[in-house]
Structure 1
Amino acid sequence: MRSILKKSTTAGAAALSVLVVSACGEEDTSGEAYSPEGEEITLTLVAWDSELASTNVIGKVLEEAGYDVTLTAVEQAPMWISTANGDADGFVGAWLPSDMASEYEEYGDDVVDLGPNLEGNRTGLAVPDYMDITSIDELSSDVVDEIIGIDAGAGIMTSTEEVVETYDLDIEATPSSDAAMTAALDSAYNNEEPIVITAWQPHWKFNSYDIRFLEDPEGVYEEEEEIRTMVREGLEEEHPVAYEILDNFYWETEDMNEVMQDVAENDKDVEDAAQDWIDDNRETVDEWLETAEQ
């Protein structure tokens, strides 16, 4: 795993402290206090635009509570593995029930599922509005040469390979990356050329381009999914403030899209876009920071 962001800014951190609780559940009479100040938290993520947005936002909120936060980009399976074996404290990018179904089945019993932090997300195939097809069963090599996808091994790529088989398509799904797929979309869109991409919402490209999902009459893709927060076992006992903030974390599709679009269209660093969103949504962030340990 490689660290992409190491955050240690603690200026203005919230003054949070809790009494240490003994194993039997009673207060420690020594009066020793737990404070998040300077405690280390590691979050992992897949470097998709959506997860860069959400992880940077919640990372900065944890910093505000006093933690030193490290964000580490990994592939999809290692994101789950690192949390299951305790090398990472958690992640906020579990796309379920279908996109990361295999990882959830394998590692779900070894992590703590805090539930959705965003609901109503969706995956599928998308095309620009200027194309005259509306359904996956209209795809063929006469329409496009390939379906442009993202990282090999991502859940949406597995589903897309199933789509190719289920619909008996004479085109293939070509793995690339989020950035490469979006670049291909931009080039095709500007020249009004046909293109089919793997797509998910939230994603800023739905705000920046007139694109739409293709209908999926065979129901290979889930019509509606959710993004959940997963943390390691023992986090609640060792870092109760971080655990509760991560448990409180919940936002809407338009919130995530706002951060992503700020990065994509304003050429802003994702950390700066995350901080701007936090500054503009202080009431929501303060609700995440409200913990029983305050």
Structure 2
Amino acid sequence: MHFSIKCKWILPLSLSALVISACGNGGQEDGQAEEGQGAEDENGEIELTYVAWESEVASNNVIALVLEEAGYDVNLNQVEQAIMWQSVAQGDADGFVAGWLPSDMATDYERYGDEMIDLGPNLEGNRTGLAVPDYMDVTSIEEVHSDNFDEITGIDAGAGVVDSTEQAIEAYDLDISVQTSSDAAMTAALGNAMENEEPIVVTAWEPHWKFNTYDIRFLEDPEGIYEEEEEIRTMVREGLEEDEPEAYQILDNFYWETDDMNEVMLDIAENEMEPRDAAQAWIDDNRDMVDEWLDTDIQE
């Protein structure tokens, strides 16, 4: 059994660091087989799609290894956010565990949600917004202006948090723009700024390892542009339950906490572990939870 990671779109240079992290991890070439770690009887092939965020690198590597244990070959495909939704709606991919809702990916959910199966949250209590280092005197989005920041450092264009930031710029009448880049580029810029105690404001979401590594905080949002209580949902294609009932039930059972996701992300970011190795370490340390995900009513 194996899972492979494919990138189906051309990445800008700013994403090169994440390609190394998300696409080349595990030291295997695309499609190269790797020995599995679970069931001897092989099931079908499952294709999961995800966006290039470190939170989703963590969750996808974990759930891929769990599906491997059940005997599946798993392909992980990194794509743009809209394509993630479109591919599952059209049945080109089996599902994703990266649906940030109800607001962050609301546009995609409204467009494609009726064409797929919503299995509900796999993580709750996450949030998005704008964040700054603790050494900044700014406390509210209302105070984000060109006299204290050059720009807002964002992630990939089309991401929900970037769209919300564009709305915030208009709602708060800010004389500043958001510069899109990538998750990796944004966190690198944040680290560089904090090392020199320079001003910076970034698009942010939690869970994310940067909140454990850096002394940063969300800015107050009096207009309520960003949701303070979001959830990450699992979405699968229509027909998956009939085609691969065990995989469907495992994906339906998948649920963990913010601390769990942060643990995997921190191993990748700070301990320089490969995503697959970090995911396996978390699985080994949380065997009871993983066994609950694998507990299905499918007869051997």
Give me the TM-score of the superposition, normalised by structure 1. Answer: 0.90
Select which of 187, 211, 215 maps to 1:182.
Answer: 187
The one-letter amino acid paired with 1:214 is L
CA distance in 2, matches of 1:239, 1:129: 48
Task: After superposition, give the CA deviation of every residue in 1:258-281 in whole Å (9 maximum; x if it has no partner).
Answer: 100100001111111011100110
Q: Following superposition of structure 1 onto structure 2, how do residues 1-294 of structure 1 map, counting pairs within 5 Å?
A: 2=7, 4=23, 6=31, 8-9=33-34, 11-14=36-39, 37-294=42-299
Alignment-derived partner of residue 26 in structure 1: none
User: Does the C-alpha gap of structure 1 residues 128 and 6 become closer, same or farther in structure 2, counting only changes over 3 Å?
Assistant: farther
CA contact (8 A) 2:155 2:180 kept: yes
| Structure-1 separation of matches of 2:107 and 2:69 | 34
Q: Is the 1:10–1:66 Cα contact (8 Å) retained in structure 2?
A: no
Q: Which residues of structure 1 form unaligned runs of 5+? A: 16-34
Aligned-partner SS, 1:266: coil
Return closer, same or farther for 1:136/1:282 CA change in 2, 3 Å cut-off. Answer: same
Q: Is the 8 A contact 1:8 1:69 kept in 2?
A: no
Q: Does structure 2 retain, via aligned residues, the 8 Å contact 1:93–1:229?
A: yes
SS of the residue corresponding to residue 260 of structure 2 reads helix
Q: CA RMSD in A?
A: 1.4
Secondary structure of residue in 1 paired with 2:92:
coil
Counterpart residue type for residue 165 of structure 2: T
2:137 alignment partner AA: D
Q: CA deviation at 1:7?
A: 7.4
Q: Matched residue of 2:251: which SS? A: helix
- What letter is aligned with 2:179? T
Shift of 1:140: 1.1
Return closer, same or farther for 1:198/1:7 CA change in 2, 3 Å cut-off. farther
- Kept after mapping to 1: 8 A contact 2:100/2:231: yes
Contact 1:9 1:68 in 2 (8 A): no
SS at 1:62 equivalent: helix
SS, match of residue 270 in structure 2 = helix
Secondary structure of 2:52's match? coil
- State how far apart, in whole Å, the 2-side matches of 1:293 and 1:279 are: 24
CA distance in 1, matches of 2:54, 2:71: 26
Task: Give the residue type in structure 1 aligned to 2:200.
Answer: I
Given that residues 37 and 68 in structure 2 are in contact (C-alpha distance below 8 angstroms), is that contact kept between their aligned partners in structure 1?
A: no
1:37-56 Cα distance to aligned partner (Å, 9 max, x none): 14100000001000000011
Q: Which amino acid aligns with 1:190?
A: E
Q: What is the number of equivalent residue pairs in this alignment? A: 274
Q: CA deviation at 1:133?
A: 1.2
- Give, as a single letter, the amino acid of the residue that structure 2 aligns with 1:210: D
Q: Which runs of 4+ in 1 moved over 2 A?
A: 1-15
Match of 1:20 in 2: none
After TM superposition, give the deviation of residue 190 of structure 1 in Å.
Answer: 0.4
- In 2: Cα distance, 1:199 partner to 1:139 partner: 15
1:279–1:186 CA distance, 2 compared to 1 (3 A): same
CA distance in 2, matches of 1:259, 1:6: 24
Write the letter of the residue equivalent to 2:167. E
Cα distance change of structure 1 residues 38 and 6 upon mapping to structure 2, 3 Å threshold = farther
Structure 2 unaligned spans of 5+: 1-5, 9-22, 24-29
